Amino acid sequence: MIVTGKIFRIVLFITAAALFACATASHRDQLMMDGIHNIDGYTFDPSSTVESRIAEIPAATLKEVMREDNRSDYLPYMPTADERKMFAYYYEKLPVANKRVMKESLVRIYFIKNYAGAGMADFVLSKDHKVYTVLYANAELFSRWISEWLTYRENSMFKQGAGDARVEIDCGTKYSALMYMLLHETSHLVDYVEPVTPFVESKFADAQGLSRKNTPFVERVWDGYAVLAGKFGITENRDLHAYGIALPAIDASKIRAFYGKLFQTPVVSGYSASNWAEDFADSVTFYHLTQVLKQPYTVTIFENGKPVSVYKPMESPIVQRRWKIIEGMR
């Protein structure tokens, strides 16, 4: 009887594993046929400079990006010589892990005019299950200051009304918004290639057959991909929508209360409260900005034009507890 039970459990495990493998293969096959996520659709020389991988976005790819964002006004953009120099200069200042993953996996960099967000990291698959990456970026980043852009990013998540609260971000004036995009989006690239969170997005987890088990970075902070640990008492994050891609769902009058709760957690920004992937990308971004590039990171809440709360998230001991994970990225 005991032997029979063991055999049954073994057969059940093997059957479940086989079904899981079939489902994973099916997801991979579908993605690799869409014209975007198959490495065979790209030429890639890992010995080339990262800057040389900037290219004009193909029409079919641009069309798909517009479909995803429900937009019709995106246009290809090729940076000027001066903008390419800025890109190359900022690239050299990125974290070691980010530069390594870019060098080894990043097949294309596409700049888009009129893009809704700062940028987007995406993955590309190969038949041998190796992960490559693609980076999409807003052409406007070259001409906007980092503090200006981050202030816009945070406020875009809230419905504004007369006299309502607003957020102001100070990250200095040394760098343009391109630095923010490079730090944030290339941290997603790292997360695709060398997972720090359980997965960056569901379709990637399905295609790669990821286990979805918690990792040290998300433990005790996230109960699920977009579910903050219940002990924090924060559910507003499920309604956070940035950049106008979806209409904001939270009244700006709730800004003060939301950030007051948020900055008692290890999460360092409103935007990064969206899900654990954004949490990781912003954690790297603000760690590197403050600890390596020596720039400020101050969040000020205004109501009726007057400052009512000031936060310096990177000075929080509970934020600093996760620094050892970021510092260990090499």
At 98-112, the pLDDT tens digits run 999 999 999 999 999
Does residue 20 lie within any of the structural domains? Answer: yes
pLDDT for 61 equals: 97
pLDDT for 211 equals: 82
pLDDT surpasses 90 at 328: no
Query: Pairing relation of β-strands 131-138 and 106-113?
Result: parallel
pLDDT surpasses 50 at 312: yes
Q: How many residues does the chain have?
A: 330
- CA 298, 304, 308, 313 torsion-angle sign: negative
- Compute CA 242 distance to the chain's CA centroid, rounded to the nearest angstrom: 12
Tell me, letter by letter, the H, E, C secondary structure of 109-175.
Answer: EEEEECCCCCEEEEEEECCCCCEEEEEEEEHHHHHCEHHHHHHHHHHCCEECCCCCCEEEEECCCCC
Token representation of residue 292:
């390596």
At 39-89, the pLDDT tens digits run 999 999 999 999 999 999 999 999 999 999 999 999 999 999 999 999 999
Beta bridge partners of 159: 251
Does residue 194 lie within any of the structural domains? Answer: no
Which pLDDT band, with edges at 50, 70 and 90, does 269 fall under? very high
pLDDT for 326 equals: 95
At 105-135, the pLDDT tens digits run 999 999 999 999 999 999 999 988 899 999 9
Cβ proximity of 297 and 313 under 8 Å: yes
Q: Which domain holds residue 7?
A: 1-26
List the one residue out of 138, 117, 164, 160 whose CA is nearest residue 248: 160
pLDDT for 6 equals: 52
Which pLDDT band, with edges at 50, 70 and 90, does 163 fall under? low
pLDDT surpasses 70 at 7: no
Which pLDDT band, with edges at 50, 70 and 90, does 152 fall under? very high
pLDDT surpasses 70 at 181: yes
Q: For residue 299, what is the enclosing H or E element?
A: strand 298-303
- 3-state DSSP call for residue 30? helix
pLDDT for 28 equals: 75
**68 φ, ψ (degrees, to nearest 5):** -60, -35
How far is it, in rounded angstroms, from Cα 183 to Cα 313? 18
- Compute CA 73 distance to the chain's CA centroid, rounded to the nearest angstrom: 23
286 or 31, greater pLDDT:
286
Does residue 225 lie within any of the structural domains? Answer: no
Does residue 197 lie within any of the structural domains? Answer: no
Does residue 1 lie within any of the structural domains? Answer: yes
pLDDT for 164 equals: 79
pLDDT for 25 equals: 66
pLDDT surpasses 70 at 5: no
Does residue 2 lie within any of the structural domains? Answer: yes
pLDDT for 9 equals: 44
Does residue 274 lie within any of the structural domains? Answer: no
pLDDT for 261 equals: 97
Domain count along the chain: 1
Cβ proximity of 123 and 133 under 8 Å: yes
Does residue 13 lie within any of the structural domains? Answer: yes
Q: Poorest-confidence range of 90-94, 163-167, 191-195, 301-305?
A: 163-167
How far is it, in rounded angstroms, from Cα 173 to Cα 226? 32
Distances, alpha carbon 247 to alpha carbons 159, 244, 251, 279, in Å: 8, 6, 11, 21
pLDDT surpasses 90 at 185: yes
